[in-house]
Amino acid sequence: MPERYIKRILDGDKEAFRFIIGECQDAAYNLSISILKDDMLAKEAIQKAFIRAYEKLHTFKHRSTFKTWFHRIVVNEAFQLSRKSKNNRNSPHNLPANYESSKNEIQKGIDENHMQHYVHQALDVMKPNECLSLRLFYLEEHSIEEIIDITGWSKSNVKVTLHRARKSMKTILSEKFNMKPEELYL
């Protein structure tokens, strides 16, 4: 848990921040890639988020978990970068031709890698907000209240975005890959 390193960092042990980076970088990457859809931009957002977290660590009052607090910073940095770069390369439901899979291929059997591949492709073409809400809720297992805290959206907005996200993913998986979500997890 990063909480145990916070006091050490505030006491001047800078190196303890390495542990926080190690523990939080994968989640930060998953969240920022949801919004930015680009590896290099995601990296930039993560770097900025970690520096900001280090700079503002003394303001962390333990009102929420460190994970929620840090994810709010990551999401803010990613949205800021997204606005700056106007990165609208991937419009939703607009898969490149090479993402198309033939039905025959799918029917050969879906192993773990296939499943990951299809879910990644689906997430990649989803709207940033929808992708982010799915990852926050199902992957990082944040509650609705925590998602409100992280994103700054209203409760109804979070619920609607989550609903739309589930619907979008089902649509993408069934339309583009000709499969239902259940089929991916057999």
Partner 1 sequence: MSLKNQHEDELFRKLLGSSRMKMPFSGLEDEIMAEIEQFDDQKETIRLSYKRGLQFAGVFFMIGLICGLILTTLIPKLEFSIAGLDNSFLLVFYQTVFAITVLLFIEKLYLHWKRLKEL
Contact residue for partner 1 among 1, 7, 10, 22 (CB under 8 A) = 22
DSSP 3-state of 185: coil
Contact 95, 125 (CB under 8 A): yes
Gyration radius of the chain's alpha carbons? 18
17 vs 79, beta carbon nearer partner 1: 17
Helix (H, G, I), strand (E, B) or coil at 186: coil
Report the distance separating Cα 142 and Cα 133, nearest Å.
10
Q: Does 8 bind partner 1 (CB under 8 A)?
A: no
* CA-to-CA separations, 30 to 18, 96, 127, in angstroms, rounded: 19, 22, 15
Applying CB under 8 A, which of residues 4, 7, 89, 120 lies at the interface with partner 1?
120
43 binds partner 1 (CB under 8 A): yes
Residue 92 within binding range of partner 1, rule CB under 8 A: no
Chain residues binding partner 1 by CB under 8 A are 14-15, 17-18, 21-22, 25-26, 28-30, 33, 39, 43, 46-47, 50-51, 54-55, 112, 115-116, 119-120, 123, 134-135, 138-139, 141, 166, 169, 181-182, 184-185
